């Protein structure tokens, strides 16, 4: 760990502005430089803040990845729905043809 007192980076509880204060202010309640409302400086949060930033970036990455997979799968479903509809039409016309052929065969067999 650093020997000099490190700064603490944290977000204002009201406006989420990133605030930087001296580590000595840990646990104190200060007025936000942006919105002026009192916000509490988290204690010993230099590691927590860094962990948080990593976690936030990781979550944002996962969300992005998830969204692109959703788009991909939705596109597959759309394509296959169209294909399914075509197959259904094709099956319907094959059924009609079968009935016609069977009717013709039955007519000839009787004659």
**Binding to Zn ion by residue 15, rule CB under 5 A?**
yes
Cα(103)–Cα(36) distance, integer angstroms: 88
Q: Which window, 10-18, 20-28, 72-80, 86-94, contacts Zn ion (CB under 5 A)?
A: 10-18
At closest approach, how far in Å is the CB of 16 from Zn ion?
7
Residue of 8, 10, 12, 49 that binds Zn ion (CB under 5 A): 12
Sign of CA dihedral 56, 62, 67, 68: positive
Q: Which window, 1-9, 28-36, 55-63, 101-109, contacts Zn ion (CB under 5 A)?
A: 28-36
Contact 41/21 with Cβ under 8 angstroms? yes
Dihedral, CA atoms, 66, 71, 73, 76, nearest 10 degrees?
-170
**Binding to Zn ion by residue 18, rule CB under 5 A?**
no
Binding to Zn ion, residues 29-68 (CB under 5 A) = 32, 34-35
48: left (phi over 0), alpha (psi -120 to 50) or beta: alpha
Q: Which two tokens mark 52?
A: 């948080």
Size of the site for Zn ion (CB under 5 A): 7
Enumerate binding residues for Zn ion (CB under 5 A). 12, 14-15, 17, 32, 34-35
């Amino acid at each position: 760990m650093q020997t000099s007192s490190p700064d603490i980076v944290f977000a204002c509880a009201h406006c989420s502005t990133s605030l930087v204060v001296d580590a000595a202010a840990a646990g104190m309640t200060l007025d936000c430089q942006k919105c002026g409302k009192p916000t509490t400086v988290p204690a010993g949060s230099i590691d927590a803040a860094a962990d948080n930033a990593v976690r936030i970036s990781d979550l944002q990455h996962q969300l992005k990845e998830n969204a692109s997979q959703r788009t991909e799968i939705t596109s597959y479903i759309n394509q296959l729905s169209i294909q399914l509809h075509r197959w259904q039409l094709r099956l319907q016309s094959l059924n009609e043809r079968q009935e016609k052929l069977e009717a013709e065969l039955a007519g000839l067999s009787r004659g």
